[in-house]
Structure 1
Amino acid sequence: MTSQAKAFSLQGKTILVNGMASGTGGAITQAITQACEQRGAGILATFQPGRQLHGLVHCVDQQLECPVTDLSESDLMQVLQSNLIQPVMLTQRVLQAGSLAPNASIVFLLSAAAHQGAKGQGAYAASKAALSGLIKCLALEQAAHGIRVNGISPAAHEALWLDVANGVIFLLSDASRWITGTSLPVNGAGTELAS
């Protein structure tokens, strides 16, 4: 294996993937799992304290189609609980347990809606925008430990799911060792997806 190929490899790594069983997060979780297994990485679906992790991927993606004027507090809290609070608290638990290896990578699924908004997606966009801010803070806090923290921001289009999974693989690999505190856009710009 060339040094360049080795940089993109996940061989020998253990990755915890936190995602939904259906929808965008589920599809991306499945693609990431298949890609990691093909690249020789071990995949975990639940956190096991005491086991060293090289990556933590949050693919949680609960959406709610509702204009802000009709949004109930309980609906807002449900989306925030799923998309923001649960991934943040799991990350905290993993970090407190000292389960992340040096040079590990944490990746959060964001959304293009977090950066540009979308009609009827106020709660969803807000939850993902909050994660975007958290990523920047957490990246600064974990830099001394060599742990990278990034997001990936896909447009809402099924044709991009494999590209999103490949983007996550890149962020988990050593090829992205100098990238932290940012979000990788996967938006299909310049193609028919942009229309």
Structure 2
Amino acid sequence: MAALSPDAILLTGRVAVVTGGARGIGLAVAETFAAFGAHVAVCDRDKPPFGEPAMTLDVRDPVAAEVFARAVGERWGRVDVLVNNAGGTFHAPFESLSPRGERTLIEENFTQLTAMIRRLLPLMAPGSSIINVTSSEAHQAAPGFAVYAAMKAAVESLTRSLALELAPRGVRVNAIAPDALPTEGEEGVRERMLADGSLPYEPVRLPPLGRLGDPVEAAGAAVFLAGDLARFVTGTTVHVDGGIHAAGGWRRT
């Protein structure tokens, strides 16, 4: 097999779909993909700043999500990369979490993701890539976020199973598990949790690398998984967390 060229890192001409792409990690992924040459379609509950198409919608709404998927197909005729970034959470001890709140967490972090994959998979040819954005909570305890963490763990399991199911058709499936990458939404959840004072726990913020990260660093991992540099990578998770997952119970002083 011929050696990879420097152009292997580029996404020139590829069609990428990013859900939850109006801010935070999703926006960083969308902007970075565009900088690396991709055509990017974006959807979000907030108005996306760019995209072809760029649509404002709730991915939990099956009608709106179907309209978005059809618009992508009509505009480009194919999807080369799907980044399932949309999701969300709120702080609630398990005993106080209502059935409605639980359904919301399940729909927002799992059901909408499987539905989006089903909608766009017919547009994905051999060589395509699905990237699911999970969380460090998929791999560790998350008091006050039990159902959210369970759904992220479900996405991790789904990623591995789909990687095997879709390997015969040449579609790769991987995940990114970010942590310590402050975003507007993440900071808001943290502040409300600490103000609530109902749990005797506080998340550790300083990772082994000694600094907080930036959403663009998650975008770098997504560029790798989307392109030819990762053409033999499937069924795995890239932890973009400054070493938090590796550290386990060890914390830098």
Q: Deviations over 1:100-132 (max 9, x none)?
A: 121100001100011012221112101101111
Structure 1: gaps of 5 or more residues = none
Distance 1:68 1:5 in 2: 49
The structure with more strand, counted as a fraction of residues: 1
1:173 maps to a residue whose letter is G
1:36 maps to a residue whose letter is F
Larger of the two Rg values belongs to structure:
2
Residue of structure 2 equivalent to 1:87: 113
Structure possessing the higher relative contact order (Cα contacts under 8 Å, 6 or more residues apart): 1
- 1:17-166 paired onto structure 2 within 5 Å: 17-19=18-20, 21=22, 26-45=23-42, 46-47=68-69, 48-49=72-73, 51-95=77-121, 98-158=122-182, 159-166=213-220
1:146 maps to a residue whose letter is G
1:60 maps to a residue whose letter is A
State the TM-score, normalizing by the size of structure 2.
0.69
What is the Cα deviation at residue 169 of structure 1? 0.9
What is the Cα deviation at residue 174 of structure 1? 0.9
1:10 maps to a residue whose letter is L
Residue of structure 1 equivalent to 2:223: 169
RMSD: 1.7
Distance 1:57 1:77 in 2: 23
Residue of structure 2 equivalent to 1:7: 8
Structure 2: gaps of 5 or more residues = 43-67, 183-212, 245-250
What is the Cα deviation at residue 28 of structure 1? 1.1
State the TM-score, normalizing by the size of structure 1.
0.89
SS at match of 2:132: strand
Distance 1:113 1:77 in 2: 18
Q: Deviations over 1:59-89 (max 9, x none)?
A: 1120121111211111111011011000111
Residue of structure 1 equivalent to 2:51: none
User: Matched residue pairs, number?
Assistant: 185
